[in-house]
Structure 1
């Protein structure tokens, strides 16, 4: 069985992503076939994991996915690999109110997989107190085990000794101590990291990060902390049934937020995936059965999309007889107009009446439960999905369209109308992670 670890921290901003990327690339350079996985609904990190490891990324989410799906997806990703590294989200135990094991916390994913925790501690501003944090994390949840620690943002050899000795006195090994590496940070924008496909000199950046990790982490000792995972795959469990036999999917810098596990589920079910680029003014292949417009950053490319007559015209023709669905940014493109950050309004596809603005910003973030109001390209009326919403664009008007789903959050709010539906076209701000099970 493949050994694995969950790379977690007590809070966000501790350096998990940089460390995970450095480990994936460092082990790859040593000839180890390693795969990187992301706990939680982050759209962007899996592409960085794939770039660092050379293997497709994956999301595992304990709120949206039942344990059987987590185990099945992990088994597929782990097949034939030598090491499985899962990057946690936020703090290790951070989640939402939910049934035991289904809170969205990375600790739930670790418990489901039987994966020990490699705890990353930002020790700037503290020394021996770091041991109290480790002890608290180790005692808080009996389902998980803290296998080792990496100290991050260590100021000196003395600092490392004070923090490290206190932690090791608990019986927890310290397998690395990283200095502050401000020059290793990856560029960010409003939804997180700048996408892997857009990051300048990504390969050079990954190599520098791997150099630093290899210099300050005992890679052999860290690998020795990994334990065989509890993985099962019945070959039948899928996140989402394919919405068509031949699925046209927009993919470029403006449309990239499609979860890798959905693609793999659709391909496993025999669907054919056909990518096209709206930014290159490509229309969806007309012999496809379904067109999917993922989220991404259309607000940064609104003028270019508005000028893409072949894309917009092809999309309109496609929608005359076949289903089209847009998530978040894709939903905005299906609407009548999109206002960019400068306040300029750009004509969009006009397949829905919605108008959105990135000039008027408000963060919308959180898990979503969705139920289809009527039958559409995504399934029959009443079908339920688990998803996630994260955007800053605001809704100026819904237009005259009907909603396509009723949506609630993870905190017990009453379901409310969400998204739009007109003819064969549907769209909404939430990203589907899996069908509710």
Structure 2
């Protein structure tokens, strides 16, 4: 069977999409429905909360990088065997890069899949006007179907009455009213929410969110509004496996690896083995490739620098096997990493680059990488879609040799990344 879907979206970032989505996923699951999550756009952190709420992997439905057919394949993969997919949008409903047939907006993803929108609207500083915002979003040209709205951060019973009066004047149903509540919060830091895997009280926090959602929302009406009963083949691997047996770093410092890529590697027949650099584990013997995902090595630089088994094992592995690092993994493959306090920590010294988190600059956006070398998972001369999202800066190093870069619009950027022998890496996160 293939479950139907909904996409939770908002007028802007910061309206509470993630906590509403996670609470809604758990609340619906507690009614006996089989629920899965998904995320529109490039994001590593929110899907971790979806997985914790539903017990199932949450795939990214990136309309810009994957394109319409890739989105449908990924959506079919996550919807298979469940009753309902509750997906989360990115930024505002109509925000995102759109070029020709590629669009990264939440609205475009919902339209591709036939999934109605549940609007999350922040009532802070407004009352009846919240309904006017919902009305405008529903009437925007080429708007996807709007199933209804959940109004968040309602201050009082009087405030609720005023909001309900506004919705009585429009055609968008009011499906939930969520009071301002400390239980509906999650801590953040420089790349977004603190990762789900880092929270020891996560199960209790999600249950508390679900309690709030169940008390304030019409769960049956929300579930009944789902749509999009299409089927599609399982999404093919978006990049080739870098080896037959792949050692993948996974812990609080190395957590940014898209589930659709992992699933694609498994479907292609690769064997995946996990290890923890923070636990001073080296890449396991018997593997022929090592993948260091992005994450937060800048928060653990001193510990990583002192983990000799990890660093020595990584250097030994690179003598015979391919090693690739994305963003944080690239920083660890370099010569040194400067932490937020300006202290330099020696890293693996496998690539000629120095990076710093003390000298911060936001790098954000879609990227197209045309690879200069055959790396196993990509061939020289081919182009991959992906993104950058980091605050660290390269402070020293040899000229970039890994890929010629462009932004999402096709405008040329400086070459990026490095490759030496079996080792490669860059700030670029590959999606497809």
- Deviations along 1:293-343, one digit per CA (max 9) or x if unpaired, are 000000111111111111111111111122110000000000000011111
- 1:410 counterpart residue number: 408
- 1:279 counterpart residue number: 278
- 2:109 counterpart residue number: 109
Could you say what secondary structure the match of 1:162 adopts? helix
- Deviations along 1:161-220, one digit per CA (max 9) or x if unpaired, are 322232243222111101112343111111111111112311111111111111111111
- 1:93–1:106 CA contact under 8 A, matched in 2: yes
- 1:401–1:421 CA contact under 8 A, matched in 2: no
- 2:167 counterpart residue number: 167
Could you say what secondary structure the match of 1:264 adopts? helix
**CA–CA separation in structure 2 for the residues paired with 1:189 and 1:287:** 37
- 1:68–1:237 CA contact under 8 A, matched in 2: no
Query: How does 1:284-299 map onto structure 2 within 5 Å?
Result: 284-299=283-298
Query: How does 1:29-428 map onto structure 2 within 5 Å?
Result: 29-100=30-101, 102-233=102-233, 235=234, 237-398=236-397, 400=398, 402-428=400-426
Number of equivalenced pairs: 431
**CA–CA separation in structure 1 for the residues paired with 2:273 and 2:414:** 34
- 1:26 counterpart residue number: 27
- 1:402–1:422 CA contact under 8 A, matched in 2: no
Offset, 1:12: 0.5
Could you say what secondary structure the match of 2:359 adopts? coil
- 1:10–1:91 CA contact under 8 A, matched in 2: yes
**CA–CA separation in structure 1 for the residues paired with 2:350 and 2:332:** 9
> Comparing 407-416 with 70-79, which one deviates more in the overlay?
407-416
- 2:11 counterpart residue number: 10
**TM-score relative to the length of structure 1:** 0.96
Task: Provide the aligned C-alpha RMSD in A.
Answer: 1.4
> Comparing 141-150 with 323-332, which one deviates more in the overlay?
141-150
Could you say what secondary structure the match of 1:42 adopts? coil
Offset, 1:141: 3.5
**CA–CA separation in structure 2 for the residues paired with 1:174 and 1:280:** 49
Offset, 1:289: 1.6
- 2:337–2:344 CA contact under 8 A, matched in 1: yes
**CA–CA separation in structure 1 for the residues paired with 2:166 and 2:381:** 55
Offset, 1:228: 3.3
- 1:295–1:330 CA contact under 8 A, matched in 2: yes
**TM-score relative to the length of structure 2:** 0.97
> Comparing 71-80 with 140-149, which one deviates more in the overlay?
140-149
**CA–CA separation in structure 2 for the residues paired with 1:129 and 1:143:** 20
The 4+ residue runs of structure 1 with deviation greater than 3 A are none
- 1:135–1:170 CA contact under 8 A, matched in 2: yes
> Comparing 18-27 with 125-134, which one deviates more in the overlay?
125-134
Could you say what secondary structure the match of 2:18 adopts? helix
Offset, 1:402: 4.7
- The unaligned stretches of length 5 or more in structure 2 are none
